Structure 1
């Protein structure tokens, strides 16, 4: 049996390479809408972040999400990320 290659992505907060499935994807669609992509299959420019509050804090501080998506990020997206991370922590 051959081993499948695991897709890795870099976190915009801590800059570590981790499995794509273990991260949260934020996308900018062609219409310019910013949203969370739970499936990982929506069309658009994507940025990945670890489900960790420290990574989110670092990404906000360094403006990593804004640089990755090449646009200003509304506060509602950061609130949605915090809510998603708190939901993941409860599991």
Structure 2
């Protein structure tokens, strides 16, 4: 558990696109993950975002999120 300000938001847009929301202002359903590649890998392994958003998430989306988190660190 961390304060919300220390986390990065993952959002599913109304169009169904899943992406990182580094500003916290994109519209859509959101879930939070710590800004660490290890946390994202754990969420990927446990399929946490797939359960939260009730959809399959392609590997390309996870790869893009990992790149964005690495650039954000």
TM-score in terms of structure 1 length: 0.70
1:37 aligned partner: 21
In structure 2, which of residues 25, 45, 54 is the aligned counterpart of residue 61 of structure 1? 45
Query: Which structure 1 segments of 5+ residues have no match?
Result: 1-16
In structure 2, which of residues 67, 70, 73 is the aligned counterpart of residue 86 of structure 1? 70
The CA RMSD measured in Å over matched residues stands at: 1.4
Q: Is the contact made by 2:9 and 2:22 (CA closer than 8 Å) also made in structure 1?
A: yes
1:27 aligned partner: 11
Q: Is the contact made by 2:19 and 2:65 (CA closer than 8 Å) also made in structure 1?
A: no
Q: What SS class does the counterpart of residue 60 from structure 2 fall into?
A: helix
Moved over 2 A (4+): none
2-structure distance, mates of 1:67, 1:44: 16
When Rg is computed on C-alpha atoms for both structures, the one with the higher figure is: 1
User: Cα distance, 1:27 vs. partner?
Assistant: 0.8
Q: What SS class does the counterpart of residue 2 from structure 2 fall into?
A: strand
2-structure distance, mates of 1:36, 1:54: 16
Greater percentage in helix: 2
